[in-house]
Structure 1
């Protein structure tokens, strides 16, 4: 292997390969870094509002608001979240040059999160519909907020370790 007309020794080649691997690992960690704080807050608020909104949409009768109003709230917060997500992803890509990727996140965290969080948020609405007790919605909302904050802090720690 030659670099600028100079032949590399085997030790230099190993060092270059090790540096390349560290660079790849660093890029992977950067792509898994936490969202900006404003988006982490937005995501946490969205997750906290979802169980209550789902409960209103799925209630057997009008609960606090008429069902069409709950549907409007659901559409509005989902659209706002989608816009914020797009802005945060674009800002991160411009800031770091690395697109956010979910495939580099630790599978031991993301797989249970991808399965458990939707089950919690939607399951609470079904439990509310069956029992009529809003405690299910409040508990799911609080657990969802705790999970969101916990994941954000874990990704902050992951990023700091990699940087």
Structure 2
């Protein structure tokens, strides 16, 4: 193989291939890197607020706020979260040159999260509706926030391992 009229040695060719493989591995690692800290905090707060907002919307009678106000709160926090997600994704793409990819994240962690978190967040609202005890909502908020922090730390570790 010649490059600009210079013939590469076998060692130089191996080194170039190793560099290419390292670039591929780095690109995969970058796409698995956790969100920026500000978005991680916003996501954690959003997850913590969801059970309370769901509970307020599903309460038998007005609980702390009228039902339409809970619906407004839910729509507002979801809109803010959606806007922040778009900003974080665009910032990520600008910084790394790689679009966000979910396929590089370990399925053994993301599938239980995708199934378990909605069950936790919505299940607590149903439990609150049937029992009238807000402890279900508070527990779901705390567990949801802990899960968010745990996944963030796991993704930080995943990135450090593959980088």
1:36 maps to 2:36: yes
**How far 1:8 moved relative to its partner?**
5.2
The alignment's C-alpha RMSD in Å is 1.7
**How far 1:64 moved relative to its partner?**
0.9
**How far 1:66 moved relative to its partner?**
0.6
**What secondary structure is seen at the aligned counterpart in 2 of 1:50?**
helix
**How far 1:10 moved relative to its partner?**
5.9
Number of equivalent positions: 163
Structure 1: which 5+ residue stretches go unaligned? Answer: none
Could you say which residue in structure 2 is the equivalent of 1:141? 141
* Deviation sequence 1:94-133 (CA, Å, 0-9, x none): 1111111111111111111111111111111111111111
Alignment of 1:116-155 (within 5 A): 116-155=116-155
1:109 maps to 2:118: no
**How far 1:11 moved relative to its partner?**
5.7
CA distance in 1, matches of 2:10, 2:112: 44
CA distance in 2, matches of 1:89, 1:158: 19
1:61 maps to 2:65: no
Structure 2: which 5+ residue stretches go unaligned? Answer: none
**How far 1:9 moved relative to its partner?**
5.9
